[in-house]
Amino acid sequence: MGNRERGNETAVTQFIFLGFGNIPQLQILLFLLFLIIYIVTMAGNILIVVLVVADQHLHTPMYFFLGNLSCLEICYASTILPRMLAGPLTISVSGCIAQFYFASFFAATECYLLAVMSYDRYLAICKPLHYATLMNGRFCCQLAAGSWINGCLAIAIITCLMLQLHFCGPNEIDHFFCESTQIINLCCTDTYLIELVITILVVLFTLPPFALTVVSYVCIISTILTIPSTTGRQKTFSTCSSHLIVVTVFYGTLMIVYLLPKTNTLRDLNKVFSVFYTILTPMTNPFIYSLRNKKVMEALRKIVCKCADFTRIPN
């Protein structure tokens, strides 16, 4: 069972995901939908990584960061979706905290990678003459590594505190993955310290990349508006429009879930909005970046042609 005796209390050893169990008539449809989403997510992001590595024309800072983002999305989706699809909807306490760590780690890292990509677009549009010098290979690697390391450190501290929590009451998580608020709500010990630490770390580790993203796009839009020709403005904006769409969807749904007042209506919709930044964003990123990008489509066409030529070679 999911409980064991601990003194006069019953210690919880397993959590139960409620997920979307309140709509049982759609369970099969949801299973098929999430299965298709996972397959498309993996295929799309793996394809982006392969194209960035294989095509010399994509060996630029913009696509280097895009390759990092695709690797992250592969890991992010694999942290949540397989657990949803495999069932049963139970998970051990340690497994839940591990899932929380990896899901939060990848989400935090995505904040930094999106900020780095915004900064890259800022340099390319606002300081084109200095772009090649500033955004050199070494600096790109440092920015990418810093994004992964910062995401790891922020969540590691929170996870260490979560491991000290004791669970002895209800064990039902009204979500489809182990989310921090849900875990803390089930704790039967004082949570003031961990809630304070989470607040401080969120401010320290997520506000700077968000601020950098906003400032970068304010500068980008200001520069674009100074371009005299409409064609020039459209061409310049097209180089960052894909990234702006991803940033808007990712941060927009995060703010709805974590910053808006917890009214009854929003509380019921939290799981739906969480689907956007945990499941749909990793799936749509490859399409947003590839379908709107001539270089990526050209690299894909070359790969397809090479594969077609290889299959026509007689044995």
What does DSSP say about strands 9-12 and 14-17: parallel, antiparallel, or unpaired? Answer: unpaired
User: In this predicted structure, what is the pLDDT of residue 6?
Assistant: 46
The whole domain housing 303 covers 3-312
Instruction: Name the nearest CA neighbour of 107 among 210, 225, 244, 38.
Output: 210
In this structure, how many other beta carbons lie within 10 angstroms of the beta carbon of residue 139?
Answer: 12
User: In this predicted structure, what is the pLDDT of residue 1?
Assistant: 43
Ramachandran bin of 190, using left for φ above 0, alpha for ψ from -120 to 50, beta for the remaining angles: beta
Tell me the per-residue pLDDT of 177-189, one tens digit each, with 9 for 90 and over.
898 888 888 888 8
User: In this predicted structure, what is the pLDDT of residue 262?
Assistant: 67
Distance (Å, rounded) from C-alpha 27 to C-alpha 48? 31
User: In this predicted structure, what is the pLDDT of residue 200?
Assistant: 86
User: In this predicted structure, what is the pLDDT of residue 304?
Assistant: 78
User: In this predicted structure, what is the pLDDT of residue 84?
Assistant: 85
The 3-class SS string of the chain reads CCEEEECCEEEECEEEECCCCCCHHHHHHHHHHHHHHHHHHHHHHHHHHHHHHHCHHHCCHHHHHHHHHHHHHHHHHHHHHHHHHHCCCEEEHHHHHHHHHHHHHHHHHHHHHHHHHHHHHHHHHHCHHHHHHHCCHHHHHHHHHHHHHHHHHHHHHHHHHHCCCCCCCCCEECCCCCCHHHHHHCCCCCCHHHHHHHHHHHHHHHHHHHHHHHHHHHHHHHHHHCCCCHHHHHHHHHHHHHHHHHHHHHHHHHHHHHCCCCCHHHHHHHHHHHHHHHHHHHHHHHHHHHHCCHHHHHHHHHHHHHHHHHHHCCC
Regions of the chain short of the pLDDT cut 70: 1-10, 21-22, 87-88, 261-268, 291-292, 309-315
User: In this predicted structure, what is the pLDDT of residue 263?
Assistant: 67
* Token output for 168: 């002895």
Tally of domains within the chain = 1
Q: What is the pTM of this model?
A: 0.88
- Residue 236's domain is classified under what CATH number? 1.20.1070.10
